[in-house]
Amino acid sequence: MNEWQGRVAVITGAASGFGLETSRIAAARGMKLVMADLQAEALEAAAAELTARGAEVLPFRLDVSKAAEVEALAAATFARFGTPHFVFNNAGVGAGGLIWEQSAKDWEWVLGVNLMGVAHGVRVFVPAMLAAAQADPGYRGHVVNTASMAGLVNMPNMGVYNVSKHAVVALSETLYQDLSLVAERVQAHVLCPFFVPTGIHQSGRHRPAELAADGRPTRSQLVAQALMEKAVTGGKVTAADVAAAVFDAMDSGRFYIFSHPQTLGSVRQRLDDLASGRNPSDAFADRPQVGEQLRAALRGRG
């Protein structure tokens, strides 16, 4: 039995990457789709693709960092399809560099999208989902928030991104606990992917003009951008693999969703450091050549 048939999905960042692949699975399972994204042309193409496959699709151009726009997304969703059963707070951007070199605009942009986009999604949709669960014993709801492995460890030269994703993990874990106090049929999940070929390394192209970077990028920011591009484009796990893992986690009731569970050793190391009162371990202890290359690049020797 397909329990997703006829249900409603709201997906941000739906025009590419995890959002698009999750939309494709949702459409294949017979869901009605609200696809939201900042990229108007890409969103139009993605919506057209899934409409051609027979899905009911509401495309919605959206800047998730803007509270009023997310509220408008919710209003449009309720008007067209009613209360959603699956909300994927997925839109995100990538940025790096030494943490003291991040400008106020860097912080506002990254936290606005990565953190406040999730917070707005939770704020506008969860109350309606709880009301639906109370009114209908057959209702089941899921909220999936996209964080990152960067929300569980702290790699150097990625401070602003790390902070945003740690906050999403904290928000999601708290949401899970809060929901357990008041509901049984609305569940929270957090997605923590590692490096997967998506367009996140190109997210700067869509940075709003009012939050444009101040001046030329620093050496550390250029280094971070180059490393991110290399790591993301070289990933072997696909966005489609991650989307499948999202549905598997919802089907099985699993909270944490990992694209690369083999990388959890670094999370254990961090927790061991915390529990033992040790200083943070060398992030490159198992890859000393990578650490030396990064130090050389940042000090102008690379």
Supply the residues annotated as catalytic: 161
Residue with tokens 């990625």: 158
Residue with tokens 């949709």: 125
Q: Which positions ≥6 away from 174 have C-beta within 8 Å?
A: none
3-state secondary structure the chain: CCCCCCCEEEEECCCCHHHHHHHHHHHHCCCEEEEEECCHHHHHHHHHHHHHCCCCEEEEECCCCCHHHHHHHHHHHHHHCCCCCEEEECCCCCCCECHHHCCHHHHHHHHHHHHHHHHHHHHHHHHHHHHHHHHCCCCCEEEEEECCHHHCCCCCCEHHHHHHHHHHHHHHHHHHHHHHHHCCCEEEEEEECCCCCCCHHHHHHHCCHHHCCCCCCCHHHHHHHHHHHHHHHCCCCCHHHHHHHHHHHHHHCCCEEECCHHHHHHHHHHHHHHHHCCCCCCCCCCCHHHHHHHHHHHCCCC
Other Cβ atoms within 10 Å of 71 Cβ, number: 13
User: CA–CA distance from 110 to each of 114, 150, 231 (Å)?
Assistant: 6, 14, 20
